[in-house]
Structure 1
Amino acid sequence: MSNQSPTYGRESDSTLHETLSSYLSAVELHGIASVGDKLIEAAGGVGQLADYKVMVAYGGGKDSSYVVAFVRAVQLHLQLAHGRTFVMRVANMRHAGVPTAVMENIDRVYRALELLDDPRCELITVDHTEIRRFCVDLPLPDRLRTINRVDVLMNGHRSAGDGRPTFCNSCNLAVADFYGRAAWWQGGVDAIMTGDSRREQLLYSAWILRLAKESGIDVEQCRSMGFRGLLTALRGIANTYFQELFGEDGIAELAEREVATGDRSLQPAFISIYDLVSYRVHDHWELIVDFLGFQFDDLAFSFTESDCANPTLMAHLRGLRTQYVEGRTYEAGIKEYLQLAEMMMHKKEMPERLIQLALSRYDTSEKITERRGMSAEYALDAFALQEDALVAMVFSPFTDEGARLARFVDDCHPKMAGRVADLHLALRGESDTEDVITWLKEVSALTIGQLRTLYRSSLVDFQTKESMIARVRVGDPHKAEIETVDPQTGSRTLELISGR
């Protein structure tokens, strides 16, 4: 292969490697050499390196940017030391919650690492079933935006807008699908480089297999299939999850969200760099910010996330809930969500400067009002959702056969107060009165079929494990008890909420 010749780009490789190495510690440089040796062995010798393909999953956040830089350093090290190196596939997954600023960060990282025009690198963007070469202004497919929007609404109505179920459950299952598609695309890859520790991988696998077993899946068979078996288990979990969400009639929705499980004949190895590096961003701030050009954008950097704006909406939904459902104030809900966010940020060992940056955006009433406007604008831009639809979601008025419908109408849409009986008839499927159905669709941003599915479904009881939606949150560490204050009595209580 001409691009793997001993003379290929040696001068530019050497300059880039030297510059990149200057930002790395002696421990990291030793780790790069160690990973290089492992890859030579896995490939079957230096002579086989050119045909060996390594994938990095890249979300566009600060941590995954570091992993991309590390793997690029390994690639350059092998090229300079042996005149041969592996092909590096960088796959970035998108969804509606990924703002433009994240793609711009990715583009800056790729340019700093000189990946864009290097034939030894495959840079792909995975938009659900559509895989294309990376381009910073690649438009998000309308169909993917619609899927994400519907999932947010259906999950949100089942969970009264709780952060993780609303935005993350379906997205996490989509991540599994992403791995299946990206790892097996065009002949597949030999290895996947990850920043997760071996312990994290084992704990995650155990959690997946436990959920799968509760869904009646043959987990022993899955265990025998390695990574593909894990994806097979996740496909089964996804099928159960989405059947609960869309009902028995949701055949098309289930098919559209089915997790890809890859090719039986290929089994990529997982190689962790966790023990060779530090993931605390302040340990390599200069690399991330100065060299890679990473920017902590006002929208893309949302609390614990630096590649997704959805946590901003999680806080917004909490504010809407306290204002409209609980009769308190929007600001009270924001302050309650900040309790969770601050705990999560400390737990993730984020630098104090980033924690204070995230919290400072809400440290006055004026800023909270400003953030509310920004959140509303983002909800409209990313998911085409007006505030009416978000308020409906936190009320969850359609589940449990419309148990909270009358109060929702009285509190938020009093002009429809005399039509509650007609609304119930339409939701039961006993009436197709045009103006009633039109109103339901406008206020919820859902189709009448989706609304009728919600009507037949229950608001999830997270105190039990009766549903897959509840079982998923039980094993989710991104939740905590926060203190709420009753404005009438001043009494303080603890409430379990989830978020990022």
Structure 2
Amino acid sequence: MIRKAIESYFSDATIDSANKCAQRLIQCLPDQKKIKNNRVLLAYGGGKDSSYMVAWVKYIHNIVLEEKGETFRLRIVTNRHAGMNDKVMENIDNAYRALGLYDDESVECLIVDGLLVRYFERYLLMPESVRIQNRTDVLMSGHRFQADARSTFCNACNLSMMNSFGMASQWEGGVDVVITGDSSKEQTAYFAWVRHLSRLFNRQVIDEGRGFSSFLKTLDGVAKGYFENIYGPGNVTSEHRIAHALVRDPIFFNIYQDAAYESGEHWSLLTEFLKFDFDELMFSFSESDCGNPTLMAHIRGLRAETLLGRTYTEGVREYVNFAIGLMQQKEFPRHLVFEMSARYQNDSAIDRQRARAEKFALDAYDLSSEQLICMIYSPFTECGKNLERYLADQKILLSAPAIHALLGGNINGCSMLKTKLETLSGLNLEQLRQCYGNCLVVSLLEPKSKDPLSRVLRYDPHKAIIQVKNDNAPDRRITEIISGR
């Protein structure tokens, strides 16, 4: 029996907490007469913490069944993006098999790929359109934020994740309850952040008392404002919006107070029972279901090597020190922190990670190192503000006036120049012209900027201020912001 199997990995205190959590959940279900009429939604990213959360909620699911003779319908949704490889799908599949979810008629396992909702299958291919959209979002954001790690990889991805919640909440009859593992403090901070963003983009301000659909509607306004800023008015696609027209308006149910999240406390459950494998690429600093932090470290190395005239190794070590600190803040087990440190322990190890990052950039996003370097310079944004330096530093024999004429005017220009710019950047001519008309997001150290994207970046909590050498100006150190995961 699944309940007994899970229970064998729990302490007495954990079992007691789970029983209390089950009673709280029962009390908040809207249909008290027929428990099986209630639908409960749980998001599952495929990482270590969310894998434990799935096992925890399934345990509660079984407690309710044994107590009431019936249980709520559990809907689990995974939002997939290009930064997740096949190993994440394997970990999810392993967890579902261990928990007996495929054979449980009261459980629905869903996967969202862009705007497509399907039942989860181990070898279900990601639509190429989703990969292309993720790639374009990375490039367009990167060229606006000058390859800031979080802004480049996480902004669009986070909004996509919230859209998957909306899509799963409106799919086939909707849901009554959305389970969250965030603490009350984290929830309050997140609501405050959303309210702040809605004001930045002159959108409807969230009303916390009006339920999940109101929350999603507010986020939809934020998403529209954000992507209009990136792509231009009229260029925001349905893939960039947040689904909020829900069949039912679910309530939040918080399990943070009951579940112990530190993976060291449930290591055997993760690795022995759920068969969770910490993949060399998907276990990437503070993430265990996404390879993007490996690219963030890589880009930091490339930035040092190009813009700052230093070495790739120095830049990577800056990121590693920052990201290891994040792991410690999130209370990762010591052996996982040690394993991550060992990957970057010396020059040879960093060279191996560089090769791995270059391959992942190509496999996941079809991005070459040349295109990543171009994004670091962001040479076409803000009327080509950084163009001449980019051409000189990278020894690119192209005419700056000709590029200005092509991107700033309505002329088609030289087809060879157009092709060359598209190859260098990974963006098409229309997208390059959009970058040309957009301003660069200024440093977080310039708080007077009224650009909403600068303020989004400023309030991101996963960042640090560091002092670095600039060998292009060896007489002084410069202050920079480093962000990541």
Query: Where does 1:179-198 land on structure 2 (aligned, <5 Å)?
Result: 179-198=165-184
Instruction: From 372, 385, 404, give the equivalent of 1:403.
Output: 385
Residue type matched to 1:433 in 2? C
- Tell me the residue number matched to 2:341: 359
CA-CA distance at 1:169 after TM superposition: 0.7
Q: Is this contact kept in 2: 1:55–1:189, CA < 8 A? A: yes
Query: Where does 1:195-206 land on structure 2 (aligned, <5 Å)?
Result: 195-206=181-192
Secondary structure at the counterpart of residue 28 of structure 1 = helix
Secondary structure at the counterpart of residue 67 of structure 2 = helix
| 1:447 pairs with 2:428 | yes
- Tell me the residue number matched to 1:375: 357
Residue type matched to 2:328 in 1? H
Between 1:297-306 and 1:252-261, the stretch displaced more is 252-261
Secondary structure at the counterpart of residue 414 of structure 1 = coil
Query: Where does 1:3-402 land on structure 2 (aligned, <5 Å)?
Result: 15-43=1-29, 47-219=33-205, 222-248=207-233, 251-263=234-246, 266-402=248-384
Q: Structure 2 CA distance, aligned partners of 1:219 and 1:458?
A: 26
Aligned residues: 480
**CA offsets, 1:278-333, max 9 Å, x none?**
21111111111111111111000000000111010011111111111211111111
TM-score scaled to structure 1, two decimals?
Answer: 0.92
CA-CA distance at 1:494 after TM superposition: 3.9
**CA offsets, 1:223-244, max 9 Å, x none?**
4532111111111111111111
- Tell me the residue number matched to 1:424: 404
Residue type matched to 1:227 in 2? F
Gaps of 5+ in 2: none
Q: CA RMSD in A?
A: 1.7
Secondary structure at the counterpart of residue 225 of structure 1 = helix
Query: Where does 1:455-474 land on structure 2 (aligned, <5 Å)?
Result: 455-461=436-442, 462=444, 463-464=446-447, 465-474=449-458
Q: Is this contact kept in 1: 2:18–2:60, CA < 8 A? A: yes
Residue type matched to 1:480 in 2? A
**CA offsets, 1:380-421, max 9 Å, x none?**
1111111111010001111121122122122224333xx222
Gaps of 5+ in 1: 1-14
Residue type matched to 1:77 in 2? I
Secondary structure at the counterpart of residue 304 of structure 1 = coil
Identity %: 39
Q: Structure 2 CA distance, aligned partners of 1:472 and 1:274?
A: 27
Q: Structure 1 CA distance, aligned partners of 2:289 and 2:180?
A: 17
Q: Structure 1 CA distance, aligned partners of 2:159 and 2:334?
A: 32
Q: Is this contact kept in 2: 1:240–1:468, CA < 8 A? A: no
Q: Is this contact kept in 2: 1:47–1:84, CA < 8 A? A: no
Q: Structure 2 CA distance, aligned partners of 1:489 and 1:456?
A: 33
| 1:497 pairs with 2:482 | yes
Q: Structure 2 CA distance, aligned partners of 1:256 and 1:69?
A: 31
Q: Structure 2 CA distance, aligned partners of 1:61 and 1:102?
A: 7
Secondary structure at the counterpart of residue 123 of structure 1 = strand
Secondary structure at the counterpart of residue 34 of structure 2 = helix
Q: Is this contact kept in 2: 1:61–1:102, CA < 8 A? A: yes
CA-CA distance at 1:27 after TM superposition: 2.3
Secondary structure at the counterpart of residue 140 of structure 1 = coil
Q: Is this contact kept in 2: 1:181–1:262, CA < 8 A? A: no
Q: Structure 1 CA distance, aligned partners of 2:264 and 2:78?
A: 24
CA-CA distance at 1:486 after TM superposition: 4.0
Residues 225, 107 of structure 1: alpha-carbon distance in 2 compared, 3 angstrom cutoff: same
Residue type matched to 2:240 in 1? R
Between 1:316-325 and 1:477-486, the stretch displaced more is 477-486
Q: Is this contact kept in 2: 1:336–1:483, CA < 8 A? A: no
Q: Is this contact kept in 2: 1:33–1:74, CA < 8 A? A: yes
Q: Structure 2 CA distance, aligned partners of 1:45 and 1:181?
A: 23
Residue type matched to 2:270 in 1? I
Q: Is this contact kept in 2: 1:108–1:294, CA < 8 A? A: yes
Query: Where does 1:477-496 land on structure 2 (aligned, <5 Å)?
Result: 477-487=461-471, 489=474, 492-496=477-481
Secondary structure at the counterpart of residue 275 of structure 1 = coil
TM-score scaled to structure 2, two decimals?
Answer: 0.95
Secondary structure at the counterpart of residue 60 of structure 2 = helix
Q: Structure 1 CA distance, aligned partners of 2:26 and 2:378?
A: 55
Q: Structure 2 CA distance, aligned partners of 1:490 and 1:294?
A: 50
